[in-house]
């Protein structure tokens, strides 16, 4: 059998075992902290969450950090706390996960998509003003794959038109724009700690803000609208009655999740350095293949290195993106698709009246993007297997 024969065609697989896409690096410190949490009896929102919030606020340089159950919850709460509701419009990107748009819809507002820049995959700030109407109340940019958005331009436009800015930084914990850490720039910023993210607590998220009034509103809304959270009511400082002051949500972050986050955050620079090594190995290995690669910012911003994507040059290959994906996975290498643009999905087409033709750059990216394994957990052998697989599959489909 020719060793270059694809496994999907009966050839030998590059790997014997399947390499799971996005498996996080979890160390003994996280495990010990979770065990300590379980043994303490305090597994809900309590002292470890307080500690994690303080650490995170310091890390991004924000005045306040509020732990929540997911980035989706963070976006929803941030929109509500900043007064977004029924009849409002929020400008955002179609090149994102459904949660970004869904959080807007859950407030009663309407997402208004603006196409992206093909190089950064971020909201094209040059197109924002043309989408502003009398109903526009906010701009919600997404720092895609870890590439910081041009927040200087976006916030200048927002200020000129009296809009608020809420950042979706699910991909961008380590990002820095124009000397400011993402999370310290706008009215509110939402982060994700989902299992595939750069900092993983399995599920969970964080909202950062420099506005104390917004922070207070977020804390109340995150836990049923109660004026005092459980830690404040049942800690050794003394029992306190709570008062329900709004119709809040069950969006709080638990101490079990925060136990992981404490040590994930402590090692975030080391994990980022490992991903940078993998990035450089991938870039070098793929330089001569018929695929386009992500570019790092050239303006001095810090890319958070969340996704490593490749974009096959389909005009030079005898396969579609999905056929390439099937061939890669048949070699026992898992991949991700980030993302099918929201303008490609039936719900948003029907609900918002959009079509893929309206967003040509998002459509181009959506048809080609493939995310490769990129976790700090990957061994050198894992990285070599990914490289061998991409070279094998791409060369096999070259016209």
Structure tokens at 133: 């109407």
Cα(241)–Cα(222) distance, rounded to whole angstroms? Answer: 18
> Does 197 participate in catalysis according to the annotation?
yes
Nearest to 348 by CA among 28, 57, 96: 96
| C-beta of residue 147 within 8 angstroms of C-beta of residue 279 | no
Could you say which DSSP state residue 254 is in?
P
- Own/partner contacts of 344-347, CB < 8 Å, gap of 24 or more, are 345/98
Cα(110)–Cα(136) distance, rounded to whole angstroms? Answer: 9
Cα(33)–Cα(264) distance, rounded to whole angstroms? Answer: 11
Tell me the angle at which helices 380-396 and 268-286 cross, rounded to the nearest 10 degrees: 30
- Which residues pair with residue 164 across a beta bridge? 138
Q: Give CA separation, 96 vs 50, 53, 93, 283, 347, in Å.
A: 30, 26, 7, 24, 15
Q: Give CA separation, 381 vs 267, 281, 388, 390, in Å.
A: 22, 12, 10, 14
Nearest to 183 by CA among 199, 161, 159, 195: 199
| C-beta of residue 183 within 8 angstroms of C-beta of residue 210 | no
Radius of gyration of the chain (CA): 22
Report the phi/psi class of residue 178: left, alpha or beta, with left for phi > 0 and alpha for psi in -120 to 50. Answer: left
The one catalytic residue among 137, 197, 363, 392: 197
List active site positions.
197
């Amino acid at each position: 059998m020719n060793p270059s024969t694809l496994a999907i065609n009966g050839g030998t697989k590059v790997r014997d075992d399947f390499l799971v896409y996005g498996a996080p690096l979890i160390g003994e410190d996280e495990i010990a902290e979770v065990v300590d949490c379980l043994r303490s009896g305090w597994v809900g929102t309590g002292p470890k969450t307080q500690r994690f919030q303080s650490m995170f606020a310091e890390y991004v340089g924000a005045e306040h950090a509020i732990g929540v159950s997911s980035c989706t919850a963070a976006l929803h709460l941030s929109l509500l706390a900043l007064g977004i509701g029924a009849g409002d419009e929020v400008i955002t990107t179609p090149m994102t996960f459904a949660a970004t748009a869904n959080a807007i819809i859950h407030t009663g507002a309407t997402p208004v998509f603006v196409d992206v820049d093909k190089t950064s995959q971020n909201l094209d700030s040059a197109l924002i003003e043309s989408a502003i109407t009398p109903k526009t109340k906010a701009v919600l940019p997404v720092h895609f794959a870890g590439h910081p958005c041009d927040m200087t331009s976006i916030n200048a436009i927002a200020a000129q038109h009296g809009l608020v800015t809420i950042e979706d930084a699910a991909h961008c914990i380590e990002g820095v724009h124009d000397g400011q850490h993402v999370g310290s720039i706008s009215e509110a910023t939402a982060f994700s700690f989902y299992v595939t993210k750069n900092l993983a607590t399995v599920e969970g998220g964080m909202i950062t803000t420099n506005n104390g009034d917004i922070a207070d509103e977020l804390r109340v809304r995150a836990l049923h609208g109660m004026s005092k959270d459980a830690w404040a009511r049942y800690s050794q400082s003394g029992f306190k009655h709570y008062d329900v002051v709004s119709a809040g949500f069950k969006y709080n972050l638990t101490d079990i999740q925060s136990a992981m986050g404490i040590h994930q955050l402590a090692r975030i620079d080391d994990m980022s350095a490992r991903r940078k090594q993998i990035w450089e190995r991938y870039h070098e290995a793929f330089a001569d293949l018929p695929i386009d690669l992500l570019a790092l910012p050239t303006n001095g911003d810090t890319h958070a290195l969340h996704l490593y994507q490749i974009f096959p040059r389909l005009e030079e290959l005898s396969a579609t993106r999905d056929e390439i994906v099937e061939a890669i996975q048949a070699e026992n290498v898992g991949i991700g698709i980030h993302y099918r643009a929201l303008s490609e999905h039936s719900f948003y087409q029907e609900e918002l009246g959009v079509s893929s033709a309206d967003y040509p750059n998002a459509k181009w990216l959506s048809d080609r993007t493939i995310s490769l394994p990129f976790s700090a957990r990957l061994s050198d052998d894992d990285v070599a297997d990914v490289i061998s697989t991409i070279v094998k599959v791409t060369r096999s489909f070259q016209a």
